[in-house]
Amino acid sequence: MVKKTDIQLFDEEKGVRHDGRRPEDMRPVRMEVGVLDNAQGSALVEFGKTRILAAVYGPREILPKHMTLPGRAILRIRYHMAPFSTTERKNPAPSRREIELSKVIREALEASVFTRLYPRTTIDVFIEVLQADGGTRTAGITAASLALADAGIPMRDLIAGVAVGKVGGRIVVDVDEVEDSMGEADMPVAMMPGLGKIVLLQLNGSLSRDEFKQAMSMAIDAINKIYEMQKSVLKEKFTAYSEAGKNKQQQHS
């Protein structure tokens, strides 16, 4: 078994990272919506080996009722890592990190969702990390936004995210677990690409002014690609529904 300390994060001679990617390359990305029958909306998102399942329930009545807000819906987010999602079994109880990320993701999604259209209700979003290999918060936001769109919740724009970082002195996009744990910096970014608005920006580590500009530029390029994938997978689903509806009408006529 190869130890993390034996991994060469960046090969200067070949200009590639430990997994053969160039600095600007993302891992293979796969998306699917409508994966759960019992949820109003759902999505499965994979960034390489990172796999995230998101499910949306609501708008629905809030319990307990004293939490009701008369002017808008409450957006409740639960980010959770499954016990089997990491190499070592994780305690199923919510950790401090999971509670913090639930709050961070909620604040990002609240910038997009029209909560005032559904007063006195709650919209519950469950984000389950099935397999973790870096970038789980940004993949989680991407999956949650897709699930909300699949549920038909009105939004200002879809939200897409990616984590950029500094590895071996180089700025790279879509960091995996090895790069996250051994690199010099990690910067998760999420935005509403159609509106050009950033809804999440965090930085662990330090970057110079020029490095930050480069990292933001690479993040925006990657997010725009993810955004196009989001729109494509939603279009495929609803086009299929439309075609199925037309076929039923033709059969009955």
Report H helices in 151-208. Answer: 177-182
Specify the pLDDT at position 250: 62
- Please report, in tens digits, the pLDDT of each residue of the chain (253 residues total): 335 555 788 888 899 999 999 999 999 999 999 999 999 999 999 999 999 999 999 999 988 788 888 999 999 999 999 999 988 888 888 899 999 999 999 999 999 999 999 999 999 999 999 999 999 999 999 999 999 999 999 999 999 999 999 998 999 999 999 999 999 999 999 999 999 999 999 999 999 999 999 999 999 999 999 999 999 999 998 887 767 666 666 666 5
Specify the pLDDT at position 189: 98
Residues 6 or more apart whose Cβ sits within 8 Å of residue 135: 47, 50, 162, 163, 174, 175, 176, 180, 188
Please give the structure tokens belonging to residue 88: 């070592």
Which 3 state secondary structure label does DSSP give 132?
coil
Pick the CATH number of 17-233 from 1.10.150.530, 1.10.260.40, 3.50.50.60, 3.30.230.70: 3.30.230.70
Q: Is the dihedral of CA 168, 171, 176, 180 positive or negative?
A: positive
Q: Give me the amino acid identity at 97.
A: R
Q: Look up the pTM and report it.
A: 0.91
Specify the pLDDT at position 226: 98
Specify the pLDDT at position 216: 98
Distance CA 153, CA 113 (A): 7
Specify the pLDDT at position 11: 87
Specify the pLDDT at position 185: 95
CB 137 within 8 A of CB 161: yes
* Residue with the two structure tokens 């330090």: 206
Query: What beta strand segments (E) does 27-120 contain?
Result: 29-33, 41-47, 50-61, 74-81
CB 174 within 8 A of CB 47: yes
